[in-house]
Amino acid sequence: MRRPDPTPTPLDGVDVLLADLDGVVYTGPNALPYAVESINRAQQTIRVGYLTNNASRTDASVAAHLTELGLSVAPEDVVTSPQAAMVLLADLVPAGSTILVVGGDGLVDELRKAGFRVTRSAEDSPAAVVQGFAPEVGWSQLAEAAFALQTRPGRDDIPWVATNTDWTIPQARGIAPGNGTLVSAVHTAIGRLPVVAGKPERAIFEAAVARFGASKPLFIGDRLDTDILGANRAKITSALVMTGIDRAKQVLAAPVDSRPSYLLGDLRELFEPYPDAVTSTEKRSGDTLVTVADAVVRIRANAVRIERRGSSSIELLRAGAAAIWGTGTAIYALDVDPGLYSEA
């Protein structure tokens, strides 16, 4: 008699693993627990690429940092939001145009490699503005962008491309403002929004799939509103790892378009069986029960309760998420057991 197939892992059938960096591989300069060992293990059998919205560094500097952490990474393994921005910019302005840059070396390097002239001054009549995060960006750079972008009589508005609009960025000391806050400052001054190259837009995902020749990629991120939303828009299977920005409370409240295919406590779970959520109806009470491994969540009317915690907090979170998402009801209309978001 044939034995049933074992429960698949998130990596089964995957040909390219795509990983975000901040909050997935490292926080600030330091590797996150189990990240390097897990990625090295994956790289033994499949291609690994890296996607980052952080525009402050070049692909070579990112690769060097990852190599110092113990990974084997070449610059061509890194897809950056400035690289995706260059693809967008090429369709918006003529080749060789002068571009006003707000950002750091990562953005300047890609502009020059793409054949554009770089300026920091609106007085040079730039054909477009490209904006990305760098720690040194301040009022003067933001003001130059606003001066170049504001509407003037008798002149068409010039294009504005943002590498990304992440509101926050994880650092070793905590969570800091991201490029989205800087983009918002310029938006407040000029009253319009940029075209966005990085996550959650599709450009950076499509660039990665094309570069690595992926047919069944898996993308790992730590943010629902950029990483997971972007992967879903690009129709890429996604995993949210609970080592960065978003935590259990955000997972349970995730809107439909920002829900991941997998929830991981850390990257070791890429190689572990990933049991399905099983939904059943209790005959005696009519309540709905959602089971993941040995964790069980009960739904009675609008109340979501822990029936059995099980042996793993991540399994409990998976059960809670499946239960809440399966109701089709916004989380603010549900009475959710606090143990579901304080436990995991």
pLDDT digits (tens, 9 = 90+) for 234-272: 999 999 999 998 999 999 999 999 999 999 999 999 999
> Could you tell me if 90 and 186 lie in one domain?
yes
Q: Is the bond preceding residue 200 a cis peptide, omega within 30 degrees?
A: yes
Instruction: For residue 335, give the 3-state DSSP assignment.
Output: strand
Residues 152 and 209 in one domain: no
pLDDT band at 3 (very low <50, low <70, confident <90, very high): very low
Does 1 score more than 60 pLDDT?
no
CA distance 318 to 295: 9
Q: How far apart are CA 30 and CA 27, in angstroms?
A: 6
Is there a single domain that holds both residue 100 and residue 176?
yes
Asked if the structure places residue 44 within a domain, the reply is yes
Task: Let me know whether 32 and 110 are in one domain.
Answer: no
Q: With 80 as the cut, is the pLDDT of residue 318 above it?
A: yes
Tell me the average pLDDT of the chain: 94
User: What is the count of structural domains for the chain?
Assistant: 3
Q: Is residue 3 part of a domain?
A: no
Give CA–CA dist 183/142, Å, rounded: 8
Give the pLDDT mean for 312-318.
Answer: 96
pLDDT, one tens digit per residue, over 72-91 is 999 999 999 999 999 999 99
pLDDT for 155 equals 82
**Domain contains 140:** yes
The pLDDT tens digits for 168-192 are 887 778 888 999 999 999 999 999 9
Same domain, 204 and 175: no
pLDDT band at 340 (very low <50, low <70, confident <90, very high): very high
Examine the pLDDT at 344 and tell me if it is beyond 50. Answer: no
Could you tell me which of 17, 60, 22 has the C-alpha nearest to residue 38? 17
Residue that terminates a domain, selected from 271, 286, 311: 271
pTM: 0.87
Catalogue the E-assigned strands of the chain: 16-20, 26-27, 30-31, 47-52, 78-80, 98-102, 117-119, 128-131, 160-162, 168-171, 174-177, 195-196, 217-221, 237-241, 262-264, 278-281, 288-292, 295-300, 303-308, 335-336
Q: What integer pLDDT is reported at residue 339 of this predicted model?
A: 94
Question: What values do phi and psi take at 121, rounded to 5?
Answer: -120, 135
Positions of E strands within 93-227? 98-102, 117-119, 128-131, 160-162, 168-171, 174-177, 195-196, 217-221
Flag whether 135 is in a domain.
Answer: yes
Q: Pull the structure tokens for residue 65.
A: 């940092």
Query: What confidence score (pLDDT) does residue 5 get?
Result: 56
97 lies in some domain = yes
Q: Is residue 290 domain-resident?
A: yes
d(Cα 97, Cα 89) in Å, to the nearest integer?
10
Tell me how far apart the alpha carbons of residues 337 and 152 are, in angstroms, rounded to a whole number: 55
Which of 13, 143, 21, 16 minimizes the C-alpha distance to 80?
Answer: 21
* Percent of all residues in the chain with a pLDDT value above 90, rounded to a whole number: 88
pLDDT at residue 106, as a whole number: 87
pLDDT surpassing 60 at residue 133: yes
Q: Which residue has the higher pLDDT, 4 or 290?
A: 290
Max Cα-Cα span within the chain: 80
pLDDT of residue 36: 98
The last residue of a domain, from among 233, 248, 271: 271
Q: Is the sign of the CA dihedral 107, 112, 117, 119 positive or negative?
A: positive
* Residue 265 shares a structural domain with residue 320: no
Q: 112 and 175: one domain?
A: yes
235: containing domain: 16-53+200-271
Confidence of residue 100 (pLDDT cuts 50, 70, 90): very high
Query: What is the share, in percent, of the chain residues with pLDDT greater than 70?
Result: 98
- Among the three residues 196, 214, 246, which one is the final residue of a domain in this structure? 196
Task: For residue range 288-310, list pLDDT tens digits in order.
Answer: 999 999 999 999 999 999 999 99
Pairing of strands 26-27, 30-31: antiparallel
Find the CATH number of the domain harbouring 123: 3.40.50.1000
Which tokens hold the place of 161? 């491309």
List pLDDT tens digits, range 196-211: 999 999 999 999 999 9
Residue 214 lies in a domain: yes
* 274/28: higher pLDDT: 274
Give the active site residues: 20, 22
Confidence at 12, pLDDT banded by 50, 70, 90: very high
| 148 lies in the same domain as 135 | yes
- Residues 110 and 165 placed together within one structural domain of the fold: yes
Whether residue 290 sits in one domain with residue 244: no
